[in-house]
Amino acid sequence: HEVLVGRPVLVDHYEQACVSGEFLWSREQGREQELALVRNDGGDVMTMADAACGRVPATGGTIYLTGMGAQDLCVARIIHERWVASH
């Protein structure tokens, strides 16, 4: 839980994250509002798909993966390629 509070958290799939691991524990403990989820200006939770499309600024944070390996790998590759191209 603590690692998801102090830094921005970007999830791969929000609905799946909500019912797993630290997210589930946080909800059960009544501490879900403490999670530092990356959100857009409208308050919607942003995901790795948003990052792959360039909609999430590189803020340095925590990536929470729920096990959707193929999607994670593809998105990570796109993010890495864009980061390398911009630096």
* Cα 62 → chain centroid: 7
| Dihedral class, residue 54 (left if φ above 0, else alpha if ψ from -120 to 50, else beta) | left
Range of the domain at 24: 2-86
Could you give the CA distance from residue 33 to residue 84 in angstroms, rounded to a whole number?
A: 34
How many structural domains comprise the chain?
A: 1
Contact call for residues 37 and 9 (beta carbons, < 8 A): yes
Could you give the CA distance from residue 49 to residue 30 in angstroms, rounded to a whole number?
A: 28
pTM given for the model: 0.68
49 contacts: CB under 8 Å, gap ≥ 6: 75
pLDDT at 77: 87
For tokens 């946080």, what's the residue?
A: 26
Q: What does the pLDDT profile of the chain (87 residues) look like in tens digits? A: 566 777 888 888 899 888 888 888 999 999 988 989 999 999 999 998 898 898 988 767 777 777 667 677 888 888 999 999 998
pLDDT at 42: 96
